[in-house]
């Protein structure tokens, strides 16, 4: 029976061209590798090599064997990944979201409903999330817009509305609302890891420069001591944080988002959670 480790040695020999180089890369002795090549010929029952003086090279059949070996090795690697992913899915609920704020309500609800599972999350591109839910790379996706797919449920569950915090003497401080276009050209503070909000700001405010902060304390200190505009939302509003600022709603449709929770129809248990959160947040 073919041995995956031996096939890996065959692939390495094909890749590096000589027994000495392949043995060096595999951290085995050259005689060990030579014995493997002979054993593979016995397993296949055909000649795989041209045996020259002090040199071994693949013949045409050997090159075909390498093709099959590469396929088997790839399949074996994929099998390990898929089995590990399946085992993880039995113990973990992975949520991929386009923004962080919807997770703040979703995580406690999931933890309460599934106390025996680990809840984890990561931010992802909007375009990638539906496919990852569909292919079972994650259990739940959070999007700023609905999607239509016969295999998935799509439920609106929370709304986030963007506002900008301006100093009282800012040119736009007297406005009842602003657009991101009106803010274009003004430099702003911006948090890191805010998902699609960052892309939206850069897209709508190409003439602005953003001082991106990764540390929450440093962000708050700059917000308190500088006059630079910064953004808040209804899901992350703190009276102390906006003290001394004029808070003005951003009226762009893209800045006022109803997030949708998507999951496969084979997981109807997530529907009640999305509906429960939605009753209080839409």
Is residue 66 within 8 A of residue 11, CB to CB? The reply is yes
From 41, 3, 8, 38, select the one nearest 23 (Cα to Cα): 8
| C-alpha span between 125 and 203 (Å, rounded) | 15
pLDDT of 26 reads 92
CA atoms within 13 A on the CB side of 5: 6
pLDDT of 64 reads 95
pLDDT of 230 reads 96
Is residue 170 within 8 A of residue 241, CB to CB? The reply is no
Concatenated DSSP letters of 145-194: S----TTEEEEEEEEEEEEEEE-TTSTTTT-S-B-HHHHTTS-EEEESS-
The pTM is what? 0.69
Phi-psi region of 107 (alpha: psi -120 to 50; beta: other; left: phi over 0): alpha
Query: How many C-beta atoms surround the C-beta of residue 65 within 10 A?
Result: 24
246 beta partners: 166
pLDDT in tens, the chain (282 residues): 888 999 999 999 999 999 999 999 999 999 999 999 999 999 999 999 998 877 889 999 999 999 999 999 999 999 998 888 787 777 889 999 999 999 999 999 999 999 989 999 999 999 999 999 999 889 999 999 999 999 999 999 999 999 999 999 999 999 999 999 999 999 999 999 999 999 999 999 999 999 999 999 999 999 999 999 999 999 988 888 899 999 999 999 999 999 999 999 998 889 888 888 877 776
pLDDT of 106 reads 93
152 beta partners: 264
| C-alpha span between 235 and 155 (Å, rounded) | 19
pLDDT of 253 reads 95
pLDDT of 181 reads 97
């Amino acid at each position: 029976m073919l041995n995956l480790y031996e096939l890996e040695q065959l692939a390495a020999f094909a890749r590096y061209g000589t027994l000495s180089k392949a043995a060096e890369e595999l951290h085995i002795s050259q005689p060990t590798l030579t014995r493997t090549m002979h054993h593979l010929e016995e397993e296949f029952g055909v000649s795989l090599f041209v045996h020259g003086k002090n040199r071994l090279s693949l013949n045409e059949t050997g090159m075909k064997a390498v093709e099959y070996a590469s396929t088997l090795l790839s399949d074996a690697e994929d099998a390990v990944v898929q089995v590990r992913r399946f085992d993880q899915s039995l113990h973990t609920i992975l949520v991929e979201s386009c923004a962080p704020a919807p997770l703040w309500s979703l995580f406690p609800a999931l933890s309460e409903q599934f106390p025996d599972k680990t809840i984890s999350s990561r931010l992802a591109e909007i375009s990638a999330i539906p496919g990852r839910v569909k292919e079972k790379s994650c259990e739940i996706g959070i999007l700023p817009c609905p999607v239509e797919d016969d295999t998935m449920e799509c439920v609106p569950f929370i709304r986030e509305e963007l506002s900008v915090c301006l100093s009282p003497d800012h040119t736009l401080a007297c406005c009842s609302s602003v657009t991101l276009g009106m803010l274009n050209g003004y430099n702003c503070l911006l948090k890191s890891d805010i998902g699609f909000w960052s892309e939206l700001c850069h897209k709508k405010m190409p003439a602005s420069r953003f001082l991106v902060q990764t540390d929450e304390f440093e962000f708050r200190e700059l917000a308190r001591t500088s006059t630079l505009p910064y953004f808040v939302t209804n899901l992350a509003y703190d009276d102390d944080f906006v003290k001394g600022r004029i808070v003005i709603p951003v009226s762009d449709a893209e800045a006022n988002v109803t997030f949708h929770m998507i999951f496969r129809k084979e997981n109807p248990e997530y529907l009640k959670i999305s509906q429960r959160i939605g009753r209080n947040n839409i």
